Chains A and B, each alone.
Chain A
Amino acid sequence: MRMETVAAGGPNEPVQMNMIQAINSALDVMMGRDPDVVVMGEDVGYFGGVFRATAGLQQKYGKNRVFDTPITECGIIGVAVGMGAYGLRPVPEIQFADYIYPALDQLVSEAARLRYRSAGEFISPMTVRSPFGGGIFGGQTHSQSPEGIFTHVSGVKTVIPSTPHDAKGLLIAAIEDNDPVIFFEPKRIYNGPFDGHYDTPAKSWAGHADAQVPQGYYRIDLGKARIARPGEALTILCYGTMVHVVENTVAKLGIDAEIVDLRSLVPLDIDTIEASVRKTGRCLIVHEATRTSGFGAELSALVQERCFYHLEAPIERVTGFDTPYPHSLEWAYFPGPVRIREAINKIMKD
């Protein structure tokens, strides 16, 4: 699945990639540029990862730089902290975000705090890649969106791409970052944008403008949101898979919404959010994660604090419910087109 071909127009000529290929390309580019970048995780070596994101890397860069690990997320992240202290730039993969909890102490108390507690003597320049989110009938252990746990932690950055182009540029920036970055990959859109209609045939990334990905090095700075759709009627803040669900719902409603793809939750592009809500006067927040203390709560508070006198309607949130992720009732749980449409109608009514 790796992109082996170099287009005639030069090494940075964009070619069609899905999100897996774009992530693989980012890892390839960074491993080629920096001998200290190492990739590790369950099944990432010879096999190339359960989602194939690391396919071919061990063959190309050797087992000292791309290797399988024992099944202990605590160990994977703890080892990555030590490797970072040595001077490497580890890119550990946690196979599913739902498996990240055994690593929380190493992430929260160690990786995120090392620079601070040692006043910069030691740093933890790791990027933790992990597929997250639902919509794949993964049940509660393969569907969760735990980004709010990490945005609550000082000292760690949280990044979520929504397109192949962004996935590569953001991952390169994350790997180059000298602080720990949680890089959550929306696995529902690995192979194609998902519009929220689970009962229609899956689309691939083929022909999508944001699936044209330069083959070489480029970076998208962390902390810069993307206006996925400019508009005047209301602002919709979202990220990951929900960007595409929102885009489709907005198109069907024919409403002139401004869709802000946050791309990075910490650091957050508050200027883009503020400018958009001041312009539209209305704000909807959409994420898959559970509602209470979800990142949407932080967004809602920030918008209220900064744009209160510009608001013409209460801020709305469409989120996962405060239940574990259900298997058979996935499409009732998933913040899909119906719920987003109802929320937009409610905001626009006032």
Chain B
Amino acid sequence: MTDSIESGAVTDGQGRNLPPLQLHVPEPPARPGESADFTHFDIPAADAAPRPDEATHPSQMRDFAYGLVRVLDEDGHAVGAWDPKLPAETLLRMLRYMALTRAFDGRMFRAQRQGKTSFYMKSTGEEAVSIGAALALSRDDMCFPSYRQQGILIARDWSIVDMMNQIYSNKGDRMKGRQLPIMYSAREAGFFSISGNLTTQYPQAVGWAMASAAKGDTRIAATWCGEGSTAEGDFHSACTFASVYRAPVIMNVVNNQWAISSFSGFAGAEATTFAARAIGYGIAGLRVDGNDVVAVYAATRWAADRARANGGPTLIEHFTYRVEGHSTSDDPTAYRSAEESSKWPLGDPIARLKQHCITLGIWDEERHAAMDRELAEMVRDAAREAEKNGILGHGLHHPMESMFQDVFEDMPWHLKEQQQQMLDEWKAAGL
């Protein structure tokens, strides 16, 4: 029994006066109509972080979980120990892949708004996270992505018509129209089937990496999840397994600060960084400027080299910002300040790399504008090509009986019976 008294103190069962307990429910710094303020966000200088040897013991890497690995500074120069000194050709490929991803996103978002499909998810502002990693990994390293890593497929030169067929769930969709749009699967591109259930891919990536190690292979695995879903048990199971078996895996946390309407505080960001999750598991942790594609490349390359040398897993937090809504079903103006995107201090990843390339003298505004036009046409042509295979809900889907295929390798009697019943009923109904 407790009795409240005027001071706000409470008397407990032993007669002690104690402050009443308080529940802390996190609240983001700014809601709609309020001014966004990122002054609390301490951005280290681009050349501030030292680059440890890839063999460094996790216990010696604590500071990297709280710092920020950066390469591109505010003036577009590549600076500091993490600068991988990429050749011009690689930088321009990165720029093109990021621009293509954004053009693809724009086209598919509009396609959803035009009623051609049910759902879409853009990666605007987060292109560097996928593109930088994809270029730092080997083509045959296995990726276990979340739902916003379309950039990996694009950077692996996967057919965008094939991706669009999946989005349209049409007869060209290799997944036979079974998955929600953007839940790609591309084994040949080392791209694991995307699940809608969050972070399930984390222990799966660790398992793949363990298998690769057990077999004496040289390939490693990489996986991605959002900061919000680091709260899932799968994340922690994966970290434990990765640590215990020193699995050759790179675990990426894309901290875009918003999980639908829940700001990162609901995943623990008020208390610590997401890279710091690594510390408790004895895993190397890096916190990276996720809007700096060169830094993402450098960090991923560091982690990949470490994994390939049997140095074990790395957890990389990519600090970025989700510029658009969670998906086409989401309206971020209902829960966050409209100013956030423009005030986000780490800028736009495409603009930053473009500036860097111009600074290097290997690029200019005219070429950039021409590239954007070319990519827009490429995406438009691809969409037209994909639409020949049909759009969602317009008949050109896989045959109805395909619904029963691939549940098992061989169809058991009960599925055969249900399939036949469905076909008979539709026939009887004259459909």
Contacts and interface: CB of A to CB of B under 8 A. Distances in A.
B193 to A, nearest CB: 4
Interface string B172-184: 0011101100010
A102 B200 CA distance: 12
B183 A117 contact: yes
B64 interface: no
Contacts of B413: 267, 270
**Which of the listed residues A69, A79, A116, A117 has the most CB atoms from chain B within 10 Å of its own CB?**
A79
Nearest to B198: A105
Interface string A96-140: 000000100110011001111111111100000000000000000
A110 B214 contact: no
B41 interface: no
**Which of the listed residues B187, B211, B221 has the most CB atoms from chain A within 10 Å of its own CB?**
B211
Please classify how large the interface on chain B is, using the bins under 10, 10 to 19, 20 to 34, 35 or more.
35 or more
**Which of the listed residues A82, A115, A116, A157 has the most CB atoms from chain B within 10 Å of its own CB?**
A82
Interface string B203-225: 11111111110110000010000
A179 B211 contact: no
B185 interface: yes
Nearest to B223: A82
Contacts of A105: 197, 200, 234
Interface string B389-421: 000000000000000001111001110000000
**Which of the listed residues B178, B179, B203 has the most CB atoms from chain A within 10 Å of its own CB?**
B203
A297 to B, nearest CB: 15
B195 interface: yes
A301 to B, nearest CB: 12
30 contacts: A69-B241, A72-B233, A74-B233, A74-B234, A75-B240, A78-B204, A78-B206, A79-B206, A80-B207, A85-B204, A86-B207, A86-B211, A86-B215, A88-B211, A110-B195, A110-B200, A110-B204, A117-B175, A118-B187, A119-B174, A121-B174, A121-B187, A122-B187, A122-B192, A122-B193, A123-B409, A178-B409, A179-B409, A267-B412, A267-B414
Interface in A18-77: 38, 64-65, 69-70, 72, 74-75, 77
B147 to A, nearest CB: 13
Interface in A245-275: 266-268, 270
A84 B204 CA distance: 9
B56 interface: no
Contact of B175 (A69, A118, A123, A266): A118
A177 B409 CA distance: 9
Contacts of B104: none
Nearest to B187: A121
A79 B187 CA distance: 18
B238 interface: yes
Contacts of A157: 408
B237 interface: yes
Q: Binding site of A, secondary structure by majority: helix, strand, loop or mixed?
A: mixed
A268 B211 contact: no
Nearest to A223: B412
B203 A102 contact: no
A284 interface: no
A75 B241 contact: yes
B244 interface: yes
Contacts of A320: none
Interface of B: 142, 144, 174-176, 178-179, 183, 185-187, 192-193, 195, 197, 200, 202-212, 214-215, 221, 233-234, 236-238, 240-241, 244, 406-409, 412-414
Nearest to B413: A270
B233 A268 contact: no
A78 B207 contact: yes
A292 interface: no
Contacts of B203: 74-75, 77-79, 81-82, 106
Given A75-B241, A109-B200, A119-B174, A86 B212 contact: yes
A121 B193 contact: yes
Nearest to A124: B204
Contacts of B179: 117
A79 B204 contact: yes
A78 B176 contact: no
A123 B185 CA distance: 12
B237 A74 contact: yes
Contact of A117 (B144, B193, B208, B233): B193
B211 A82 contact: yes
Contacts of B193: 114, 117-118, 121-122
Contacts of B412: 223, 266-267
A79 B241 contact: yes
Given A77-B203, A106-B203, 7 more contacts: A70-B244, A72-B233, A75-B238, A81-B207, A82-B144, A83-B211, A115-B406
A70 B237 contact: yes
A230 interface: no
Nearest to B214: A64
Contacts of A102: 233
Contacts of A77: 203
